[in-house]
Amino acid sequence: MPWTMRPATADDHDQIRNLFREVFGYQRADEHDRWLSFENPDGQSIATVAEDRAQIVGCYTLLPTMLRLGKQNVLGAQSLDTMTHPDYRGQGMFTKLAIQTFELAGERGVKALYGYPNEASYPGFVRRLNWDHTGDIPRWTRVLKPSVLRTIPRPIGWSLDAAASLLVPKGDEGAFEGPPPPSKLAQLITKCFDQPDICRVARSVEWMNWRFSPASGRRYEWVTAEMDGELAAVAVWGIREDGHGVLTEIMGMDQPAVNIAVARAVRAAYRVGVPALHTVTNEPVAIRALKRARFFTRKPLPLIVRSMTHENLGGNIHNHSAWRVVAADIDTY
Ligand SMILES: CC(C)(COP(=O)(O)OP(=O)(O)OC[C@H]1O[C@@H](n2cnc3c(N)ncnc32)[C@H](O)[C@@H]1OP(=O)(O)O)[C@@H](O)C(=O)NCCC(=O)NCCS
């Protein structure tokens, strides 16, 4: 019997997780998947599944996300967890699931899509599904414990660890007790995000509390920088499934404040013993702070976008130089 398609429901949660394990070879915590699919303040995930004899054999998902396009908030969605069971590949399943999901998203008021495809999904998105590859976003890594990296022989690694410890930024700890007060965070968001023509994932206190919630399973920790008693920058870092650190959020009103927040995140990650801290961003102020804190660039991520409307939105999503991307905008960080 040929496979069929239908919108996913909450009851499909366990089967979709089983398919994820089959396709990607590992499993995320159930709590993480529920947090991502059902607790997002911008809306529950929009997904279509392919079924064969009551078994889910393919799934395509969009995660609703408020975008800040110029001075306008627009409902968008991130494309993620594209998967076709190995026995069903090459039959157009991904393409068909995606088109059906775009329709569902349109009905939910989604106006623009964005994503970071890998080599397998890129051709489908760009050649078959009318996505536009706007350009690439740099990935960054700060090595904290060289001995843990597989490419370095043990004794050399240990001496490099000692050398690396000398390069960890020194200084006081700074405020460090969970998210800053909501009113201060809201003020910082307004100051940092009120720019014309820029396209980015929007921030709100509610969204940030969800994004960095313990339910994500990533043990996120906030660090802040204050200037003249005002909250001037925040960084959020966490620990992903493989034990590596992720520097997920970097936001601040000026260069000195962002430098302090990034240095504090590096220090905090070093203390806990994570081997390396990884992030993604093309935000110029964040990049200067990362370079100062000895991050180096790695293979970049392609940014792809797709418009879902003929309306003129507040910023041109097809113009790569308009985009400001930070790791928190990507579900895997
Ligand atoms: C990527 C994936 C979803 C494609 O599923 P699919 O149902 O076989 O895709 P389709 O049959 O709709 O093919 C769509 C297009 O992508 C191309 N494509 C499919 N798999 C590909 C691969 N591994 N590498 C390069 N191109 C690929 C197809 O050739 C087709 O293009 P064409 O029509 O011009 O030939 C599937 O290979 C998969 O689940 N991979 C593992 C999980 C993964 O990497 N997901 C992406 C995460 S971002």
3.40.50.2000, 3.90.45.10, 1.10.150.130, 3.40.630.30: which CATH number matches 4-136? 3.40.630.30
CATH architecture of the domain 137-300 equals 3-Layer(aba) Sandwich (3.40)
Q: What length does the chain have?
A: 333
Give ligand 1 pocket residues (Cβ under 6 A). 23, 82-84, 89-95, 117-121, 123-124, 127-128
- Rounded CA-CA distance 267/260 in Å is 10
**Per residue in 243-293, pLDDT tens?**
999 999 999 999 999 999 999 999 999 999 999 999 999 999 999 999 999
Q: Pairing between strand 72-84 and 112-115?
A: parallel
- The pLDDT score that the predictor gives to residue 150 is 66
Instruction: Output the CA 138–ligand 1 centroid distance in Å.
Output: 24
Atom of ligand 1 nearest to the CA of 24: 42
Instruction: Output the CA 172–ligand 1 centroid distance in Å.
Output: 49
Most ligand 1 atoms within 8 A of CB, residue of 85, 89, 122 to mutate: 89
Most ligand 1 atoms within 8 A of CB, residue of 19, 52, 61, 94 to mutate: 94
Whether 4-136 and 137-300 share one fold: the answer is yes
**Per residue in 64-93, pLDDT tens?**
999 999 999 999 999 999 999 999 999 999
Kindly compute the dihedral angle of the four CA atoms of residues 105, 107, 109, 113, in this order, to the nearest 10 degrees: 20
Atom of ligand 1 nearest to the CA of 90: 11
* pLDDT bracket for residue 183 (50, 70, 90): very high
Helix (H) / strand (E) element for 47: namely strand 46-52
Domains in the chain: boundaries: 4-136, 137-300
* pLDDT bracket for residue 170 (50, 70, 90): low
- Rounded CA-CA distance 280/18 in Å is 29
Mean pLDDT confidence for 48-65: 98
